[in-house]
Structure 1
């Protein structure tokens, strides 16, 4: 996954980066401390893959900066964008893969250089069982993404192509 790992950050710099992660603001001091100890900063350049279909997930990641696109690649070679992940967010497919112990069913590619904090999947599994703030973050993330994907399905299934194109052009 990561193209470069930056583990030699100063304690102050690491604190500043961790302060950008929304759920940690509501987290217990125990979780903040454990997260800080387990966290590693990684960088991915535009065009690199964060996840590939069929991958397993060894780490939970939260984006500190940047943006990635999550999409499904069809047998025909066509892609459909499912959603985007940005700063302060985690990728639902990453979380789902960790919690279900299954492989990733889609792809995630970096669109804008990503800086992310990663922690080992076993630690994430233990923390989600113990800490409500992390569970709330994950459930809200799943809820938001499910709503986005439902809107996408509605648009593709129930709106004509010319209407979708006109809407996109008006949005530009």
Structure 2
């Protein structure tokens, strides 16, 4: 309990809560840990990512999955938009991209704060708006870009985010991130390798020609 209380000031809206609301958060907060690839579910309305990365996606009735964006350490994740907003009737699917440690807040606590604290409610609306802004590029890529462009864009974003030229990801993992399937990813990476853009390694892809990949994504 004391460890949880020591971490609560990390919540971005903490300063806007009164003492009673802080006690409410303390009682409704708990730790959760998820292994890589595990579906994140159950028992909480939002979580602060202490360590790891969460992939957010939507899944159609036919089972097709489209990755929307990823959240990293230090970011707040709402388990389900409908948890906080009655007007929203669809949910996203959350997967632990890496092993994750989360500081979670119960659904009941989120509901209570939405009703009792205008600053918290405004924060949640702003968070939702920011998340929708992240969704738009992903939807534009799926709708208007070829897979060749999407894969190049993914490689460039990972390089820009991490500063690394070697991505330790399997074809399955890349397929999940690019809303595709392993066979298509493997075929396209083989073509990129033949063109001198990347080099295939066991469990990894080495990016060789970043400028060419950047030009390809904008073609």
Give the TM-score taking structure 2 as reference length.
0.60
1:111 equivalent in alignment to 2:111? no
Per the TM alignment, residue 119 of structure 1 is displaced from its structure 2 partner at its CA by: 3.2
Which residue of structure 2 lines up, in the alignment, with residue 27 of structure 1? 17
Cα 1:22/1:30, change in 2 over 3 Å: same
Q: Deviations over 1:104-142 (max 9, x none)?
A: 634211122222233332232121111123112211211
Which residue of structure 2 lines up, in the alignment, with residue 42 of structure 1? 32
Partner residue of 1:80 out of 57, 60, 66: 66
Task: List alignment gaps of at least 5 residues for structure 2.
Answer: 160-219
Q: Deviations over 1:30-69 (max 9, x none)?
A: 3222111222222222222113xxxxx6421212312211
1:73–1:79 Cα contact (<8 Å) kept? yes
Matched residue count: 157
1:17 equivalent in alignment to 2:3? no
Per the TM alignment, residue 148 of structure 1 is displaced from its structure 2 partner at its CA by: 1.0
Structure 1 distance, partners of 2:111, 2:155, is 43
Structure 2 distance, partners of 1:117, 1:20, is 10
Moved more, 90-99 or 79-88: 90-99
Which residue of structure 2 lines up, in the alignment, with residue 68 of structure 1? 54
Structure 2 distance, partners of 1:50, 1:169, is 26
Per the TM alignment, residue 14 of structure 1 is displaced from its structure 2 partner at its CA by: 2.0
Per the TM alignment, residue 80 of structure 1 is displaced from its structure 2 partner at its CA by: 1.5
Which residue of structure 2 lines up, in the alignment, with residue 139 of structure 1? 125
Give the TM-score taking structure 1 as reference length.
0.74
1:58–1:98 Cα contact (<8 Å) kept? no
1:64–1:117 Cα contact (<8 Å) kept? yes
More strand by percentage? 1
Which residue of structure 1 lines up, in the alignment, with residue 109 of structure 2? 123
RMSD, aligned α-carbons? 2.7
Task: List alignment gaps of at least 5 residues for structure 1.
Answer: 1-8, 52-56
